[in-house]
């Protein structure tokens, strides 16, 4: 049993494991509740978690394509992608579809997003999202640059959204992260993303990065027209849309 550190002190590794255990199905390494400060600091490591997920996907892709045709490999890989994150972001996307498009007032939209049941907008949005991702994976031929950069840049997009835009709910994990996140964490995440994108040595990577910024900005602005601030579900939706945007950007670059 590990005891919480003193208030105000955040270990590098604890913040990293807070991000890993929150964003993935990784078994608990830190066997205690994370402090509010650790959860806030964890956003700096979201892109690191994304790189780990992307590396697993890229390695899995090579193995799958040795065994199965491209279409089947893409389907299995998409399922693995969802499982690695515990469907956390996909669930947020579904809730956001129902809430943002299923209510008439800000209060109604927020209440719908709290509902654990999914409606028509979630069904339609989820089907379209997965269909587009599946098609993009086939179109880009499971390119390693797409598999690595999509989870990397999308999780950086969540870190950007946390710092740049207001949060709506008064309680919850999202509120804790928002209140304890810092611009220094975003700077660390951004420098990490820029370094990995440079190492990728592909123009599609830089285009994808710009596209992710546009998705985060556009998604947040649309949300703020419908409800007073972002929520954890909106963070998940931003992640899903940013992943799709990266896949589409890489596919478009390969087609040119």
- Per residue of the chain (256 residues), what is the pLDDT tens digit? 344 555 556 788 999 999 999 999 998 888 888 999 999 999 999 999 999 999 999 999 999 999 999 999 999 999 999 999 999 999 999 999 999 998 889 899 999 988 888 888 999 999 999 999 999 999 999 999 999 999 999 999 999 999 999 999 888 899 999 999 999 999 999 999 999 999 998 899 999 999 999 999 999 999 999 999 999 999 999 999 999 999 999 999 987 7
Please calculate the CA angle 96-99-102 and round it to the nearest 5 degrees: 130
37 CB burial (10 A radius; 0-12, 13-18, 19+): buried
Please calculate the CA angle 146-84-186 and round it to the nearest 5 degrees: 65
């Amino acid at each position: 049993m590990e005891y919480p550190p003193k208030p105000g002190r955040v270990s590098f590794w604890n913040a990293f494991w807070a991000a890993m255990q929150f964003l993935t199905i990784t078994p608990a390494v830190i066997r205690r509740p994370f402090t509010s400060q650790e959860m806030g600091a964890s956003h700096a490591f979201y892109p690191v978690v994304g790189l780990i997920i992307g590396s697993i996907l890229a390695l899995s892709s090579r193995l799958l394509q040795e065994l199965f045709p491209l279409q089947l490999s893409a389907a299995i890989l998409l399922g693995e992608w969802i499982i690695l994150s515990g469907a956390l972001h996909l669930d947020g996307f579904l809730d956001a579809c129902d809430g943002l498009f299923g209510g008439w007032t800000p209060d109604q939209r927020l209440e719908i997003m709290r509902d654990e049941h999914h409606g028509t907008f979630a069904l339609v949005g989820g089907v379209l999202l997965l269909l587009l991702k599946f098609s993009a994976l086939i179109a880009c031929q499971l390119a390693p640059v797409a598999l690595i950069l999509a989870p990397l840049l999308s999780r950086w997009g969540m870190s950007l959204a946390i710092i740049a835009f207001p949060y709506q709910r008064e309680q919850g994990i999202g509120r804790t992260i928002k209140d304890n996140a810092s611009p220094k964490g975003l700077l660390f995440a951004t420098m990490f993303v820029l370094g990995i994108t440079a190492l990728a040595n592909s123009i599609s990577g830089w285009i994808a990065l710009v596209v992710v910024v546009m998705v985060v900005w556009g998604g947040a602005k649309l949300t703020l027209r419908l409800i007073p601030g972002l929520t954890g579900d909106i963070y998940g939706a931003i992640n899903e849309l940013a992943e799709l945007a990266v896949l589409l950007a890489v596919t478009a670059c390969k087609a040119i």
